[in-house]
Structure 1
Amino acid sequence: MSEDADWRGRSSRLLGLVDAFVVVWAVVGAFLIRFGAEPDFVGPAEEVTYIWLSAALAIVWWFMLGAWNSRQSRILGSGADEYKRVAAASLWLFGIVAIVSYVLRFDTARGYVGLALPVGLLGLLLGRWLIRQHLNIKRRQGRNMSRLLLLGGPGAVSHLAASLDRARNAGYMPVAAYMPGFEGAAEIEPDSGLRVLGTKPETESIVSAIEACGADAVAVSAGVQLHPQTLRHLGWELASRNVGLIMAPALTDVAGPRIHTQQVAGLPLIHVTTPTLEGGQRVAKRLFDIVVSALLILLAAPAMACVAVLVKLDSPGPILFRQERVGIEGRHFRMLKFRSMVVDAESKLQELADQNEGSGPLFKMKNDPRITRIGGALRRFSIDELPQLFNVFSGSMSLVGPRPPLPREVEAYESDVRRRLLVKPGVTGLWQVSGRSNLSWQDSVRLDLYYVENWSLAGDLVIILRTVRAVFHSTGAY
């Protein structure tokens, strides 16, 4: 077995070592901070009790992280599942400690527990994040990947291959295709470039294809022409060979919280709930916008005052640029920005139309001559967008949402793209943390529609945190 082939075992062992170091560090650190290097206990019995409690807490914490499958290779590298399992295991442990202390009337030092839990949880999450960055670097180089054989029809195989290639951090690398029932399939699938290893709808033939390409798992995509009994036998064969089986239904851009499974007569039925942003959810999002935007306005007020002076000194014209944009349900509003272009920038747009580097109805130009000297720096770090916090506070925008479109862009929308207008536009969003101006029109629409379909407050928090990194990297900002 090559070094790269054993990446799952090495990653699991590394996670185990990091987890052990963090929990011991958190427990010992909490003990020393709470009681000191020379604890002043009432008696030796209490000292021994806390020493044993600290040792037991560290050991049980480490084992609970394993029991919650937080070190599974399947969840490493992308998605929030890894972090959720770490948090769940930690919170369950300390919840059990609290219950046991209450039932047995053991007066556990609250300062000790109150230090160990947050410090340890933060350390565990930070450790996982650092390991994830290292793993993702290797995956961008094509290493530490699960090799997949894709089963399905030509269109479904090419779509699944393209989707997995866009998300290389997930660790899946299609290496070949198998198209049961498609006798006329070419030897090379034209869109993905994958070899087609067979078309016979038989378990033995599929297993031979798996052995030929050295696949670690089989991904069954939509349109696969296999009898349910054949698929069942294939699952048994894969289990006996320790090869994974992945089902990829024809559901795109649907997040996990909307998907629920139900067993009916041995069939795993998938229920997809309807996305809603009403009632309590809408109120929670609005309260979040008001509180956070108010805090950010207060914190950024000195910086905005300095920027206002620089804009005024740099070129003649107003400090703020007010532009008509389209908000929720097609309502127009005035979006605020620090002026980063010359005063007559809008009138010069037609002169530059033939130099448009954007796609779809968007106008983008890397070296736009209308941008002022200070405007380039403001755009690079998105400082020009700080006044939009006032739009958020007043209710015309949200902190997180789709990109606020211009009226001329909305006029060019196709019917499905208009779903972007079901929620308020945002100061930041998936488009902001995924490349900004480097995105194609299709990718921008796909990300915005994904947000509309799968909104959650937790997702908003993640996007805000990712925005900080995107701003400092200034990728795609011009």
Structure 2
Amino acid sequence: MNLPTQIEANAPLPNGGILARLLDIFVIAVGALIATPVRTIPGQAGYDSALIAFALLFAFVVFPLFGMYRSARRNLFWRCVCVPAIIWLAVLCAALACVCLLHAPYLPAASWFAEWALLSGLGLIACRLLDSALSLKLADKTGNLRSVAIVGSGAHCRQLLRKVETSSDSLYQVAAIFDTAPGLAEMPENARAFRDRERFAAYLRRHGVDELWLALPLSEEKTIREFTRLFRQDLINIRFIPDVSGLALFDGEMVNLDGTSAINLVGSPLSSESIAQKDVFDRIFALLAVLAVSPVLIVVALAIKLTSRGPVLFKQLRKGANGRVFKIYKFRSMRVHTQTEGVLTQATRDDPRITRVGAFLRRTSLDELPQFFNVLRGEMSVVGPRPHAIEHDSLYQDIVDGYIHRYRVKPGITGWAQVNGFRGETDRIEKMQKRVECDLYYLSNWSLRLDLRIVVATIFKGLIHRNAY
């Protein structure tokens, strides 16, 4: 489970880092002013100003969503150089796309645009490095790295140790572990392991350990009481981080409900911040994708119209996040045919309903391209569980474990299941079960890096597949 709010070390700066955000806006604006364009087209400067305005707006809104204002103490190159550079380039592309939509022939002067991107990018990176240097210096002066002792064993304790060790901004260092059972294969560096309670307590008192974390299952009430009583005369913070792995579907995240702490046993696996990050990524990626493949969209639409009768787009009702129904868009790949209401026949190999153009579109996944418009409408994500026909939802949700939880996020154009080979016809329950297992894994392990990994895998190996027909 995730650590409680009070031991999250990577929370944003106060007021969302408003001073840091204003400094970034200043850096971007100054970079644009220093890189003065040379214009020969009358009136073009106005669109340059619009480009700068869009970039400033997007930077102000998007930067906090991607953790730009969290003080980095580890992985400095990634956090202080790579992340700012990637997000800044994405903001520039989004701003340029917006101005192009307003003024189709617009193209900024290449030298000015490149100089602005470079100067502002270097300025943003310098701000991140300065912030990290100041944070590290302050941490050294105040000695705010807190030592922690953990009581627990097994997978839950190992997971907690990994989170502390791998967190890029952790303010905690594990000093000692009381292993309640032989369940820890590896010990953190500079940490002592104990099985004797009195020696464990003496070590914590001698070294002035700041906090004691009880990483125990709910059934270990007796052990919890014993350790609480053992340190009743000590000024040490004692925190209970319960092991709810046997109860929670996803990580049992600690949430705050109007001042009352609660643990999610069955709930959305993504926090509101993660959903916002994913939504920003989706909209920017979809907008750039539509602009990039617009010639392909036109060619495919003409090919469908000229080779078979019927509409270019196929529309079908699907379920989205929280079970909301929406219309999904695809390029039509089948001949127009009558269909019994409430009955859906999946496409099979050598299906006579599929046109020659449609067969090519299905093999290459080009029929899915119109779904980028679903993403722009906020109905789908670029990456997520693939939406199934409502008739299939009604069939599988009662017989496939965990099927209903695919609805906890927006469905995606591609997903973890698809890049792992689980796509196409689901003629056996086992196939659908494997697909759902992949979807649940994705929900439990979501990150922007995983989304990018799936997008890259889709481009290189997921577009064409033997099961796509």
TM above 0.5, one fold? no
Category of TM-score, reference length = shorter chain = 0.3 to 0.5
Q: TM-score, normalised by structure 2?
A: 0.43
Q: TM-score, normalised by structure 1?
A: 0.42
More helix, by proportion: 1
